[in-house]
Amino acid sequence: MLRQALSRSRQARGIASRLLNAGVVSAEGTGLRAITTSSLKAGALPIPTEAHGVNYHNPPMEGGYSFFMPRQTLIGPGALKTAGDVVKSLGLKRALIVTDSGLAKSGALDPVLASLKAHDIEAVVFSGAMPNPTDRNVEDALAMLKENNCDFVVSVGGGSSHDCAKGTALLATNGGRIHDYEGIGRLHAAPMPLVSVNTTAGTASEMTRFMVITDTTRLLKMVIADAGVTPAIAVDDPGMMMKMPKGLTAATGMDALTHAIEAYMSVISNPVTDASGLHAMRLISAYLRTAVHDGANAQARDMMSYAQFLGGMAFNSASVGLVHGMAHQLGAVYNLPHGVCNAVILPIVLEFNAEAVPHRFIDIAEALGLGQLSFEEAPGKVIEAVRELSADIGIPANLEVLGVKPEDFPLLADKTEVDICCMTNPRPASKEQIIELFRKAYEQGSEGQPTKQAAAA
Ligand SMILES: NC(=O)c1ccc[n+]([C@@H]2O[C@H](COP(=O)([O-])OP(=O)(O)OC[C@H]3O[C@@H](n4cnc5c(N)ncnc54)[C@H](O)[C@@H]3O)[C@@H](O)[C@H]2O)c1
Ligand SMILES: [Fe+2]
């Protein structure tokens, strides 16, 4: 059974790597065996192949790996103060600030505007990036950029503002419509420089080569992946995250956890993405509850800012998986918060993946503070811990609470099947299996998580 599952996961990897074009991968195992450390508990069964430990989890790619990072990242308390000097050094003159209406009204832009002004950089504000930003938002921002002759873009906000800004910077130099760039590596010119000031913790979009834009005609989320999309400068100052309300802190924190876990399980993970993902998991399991319930706790905010950045470092090269593939469709069809969708689906997909890669759960369990477990014990304990964390921070129990309609499952499954995130999931899923996973996510219940009535209130 395990052997069959591993064979399926290798096939998935071969397909994913060809489509992602991130290097040539031998679909066959190389015969490498993990050098396990003391983390392989005495008494735990030896793992047949692709074990946890100090080595590749997947056969290494022929041609090696690529890592995609911003040219410079300013991170930690006070990082925003440094940003003005760094932007000035790029010789940029006129910014289009892309943000959402809530942040624009809240005064969150004030320190950014003040910093630009202090450095003699002009700025105009586009505040029309909606949650799950759309193709139309990008077009509107682009029109404003052109009218004002801006020479660079600054995003201030969470993933929605960053992604809308990425689309705007891309079209400013590449032309056409955002739909033309759906998929992997389709840019033909470098986008306009982008500086991303992050206010959630989070999507890590301020440092990734991905953007996710809702196609308002097809009602699906287009994923665009290209090294050129990566912002030039990322700013992760936890001071910008202190005012996140509980629900947003919880949702974005679970998004970061999903990035870390999915990247760690990805069929194209490698030792660097593994290290980033595992440390993100450690920080999230240590600090997310505090960040949610004591938002004024500066240390928890700071550590969650690092955690989401580490999650970004992991998935920016290793990509994510089926959780994201399914969650994207819920965002596009019902405009639901991305992090909440991930959090609700995560335990269901982990159960599904456990059949193929139970050994991957050993190190995840350890990173989540569950101790050293065998590959037979680890999946169940990890899934339980994820459910407990979600319940503790008020994530709704299931898709029914979120208003998802069972009659839409076949349509959602169709859209999921073509989402590029699914290519790196360790276990391929058929349409029927995806429908079943949506059904399980709809029906699951967990004591302590908000009921339908509580969520509506
Ligand atoms: N490009 C990527 O690599 C990537 C990765 C994951 C997710 N995403 C995308 O990111 C989007 C979700 O982004 P998000 O979860 O960061 O939320 P968001 O950007 O949609 O923001 C949600 C809400 O939070 C508010 N908000 C943001 N920062 C705040 C703060 N500091 N204080 C108070 N309120 C604040 C905003 O005003 C908005 O109303 C989705 O569209 C998702 O698909 C992109
Ligand atoms: Fe995400």
Taking all residues of the chain, what is their mean pLDDT, rounded to a whole number?
Answer: 88
The answer to whether the CB of 379 is under 6 A from ligand 1 is no
- Judge whether residue 37 has pLDDT over 60: no
CB 235 within 8 A of CB 83: yes
Which of 98, 132, 163 has the most ligand 1 atoms within 8 A of CB, as the residue to mutate?
Answer: 163
What's the pLDDT score for residue 448?
A: 52
Rounded to the nearest angstrom, the gap between the alpha carbon of residue 373 and the centroid of all alpha carbons in its chain is 27
What confidence category does residue 286 fall into, taking pLDDT thresholds of 50, 70 and 90? very high
Residue with the smallest CA separation from ligand 1 atom 19 is 158
Q: In what order do the strands lie in the sheet with 183-184?
A: 183-184, 220-225, 210-215
What's the pLDDT score for residue 416?
A: 96
Average pLDDT of 13-40?
Answer: 36
CB 269 within 8 A of CB 225: no
CA distances (Å), 314 to each of 263, 272, 279, in order? Answer: 6, 7, 10
The answer to whether the CB of 199 is under 6 A from ligand 1 is yes
Instruction: Give, to the nearest 10 degrees, the angle between helix 135-147 and helix 159-174.
Output: 60
The answer to whether the CB of 390 is under 6 A from ligand 1 is no
What's the pLDDT score for residue 224?
A: 95
What's the pLDDT score for residue 30?
A: 26
- Judge whether residue 22 has pLDDT over 60: no
What's the pLDDT score for residue 52?
A: 60
The answer to whether the CB of 237 is under 6 A from ligand 1 is no
Sole residue written with tokens 């949702």? 251
Neighbours of 14 (CB within 10 A): 14
- Cα angle value 143/145/147 (rounded, 5°): 65
The contacts of residue 118 (CB under 8 Å, 6+ apart) are 84
Average pLDDT of 83-112?
Answer: 96
The contacts of residue 266 (CB under 8 Å, 6+ apart) are 273, 315, 318, 319, 320, 321, 424, 425, 426
What's the pLDDT score for residue 56?
A: 80
Q: Looking at per-residue confidence, does 64 or 124 come out higher?
A: 124
Q: Looking at per-residue confidence, does 247 or 54 come out higher?
A: 247
Q: Could you give the CA distance from residue 90 to residue 113 in angstroms, rounded to a whole number? A: 17
What's the pLDDT score for residue 447?
A: 54
The alpha-carbon radius of gyration of the chain (Å, integer) is: 21
Q: Which ligand is nearest to the CA of 206?
A: 1
CA of 56 from ligand 1 middle (Å) equals 33
From the list 289, 395, 265, the residue with the least C-alpha distance to 337 is 395
The contacts of residue 6 (CB under 8 Å, 6+ apart) are 48, 49, 50, 356, 357
Neighbours of 299 (CB within 10 A): 13
CA of 165 from ligand 1 middle (Å) equals 13
| Amino acid at position 295, single letter | G
The pTM score is 0.89
Tokens in use for 296?
A: 């004024």
Average pLDDT of 412-416?
Answer: 96
Q: In what order do the strands lie in the sheet with 122-126?
A: 72-75, 233-236, 194-198, 152-157, 94-98, 122-126
Q: Could you give the CA distance from residue 197 to residue 195 in angstroms, rounded to a whole number? A: 7
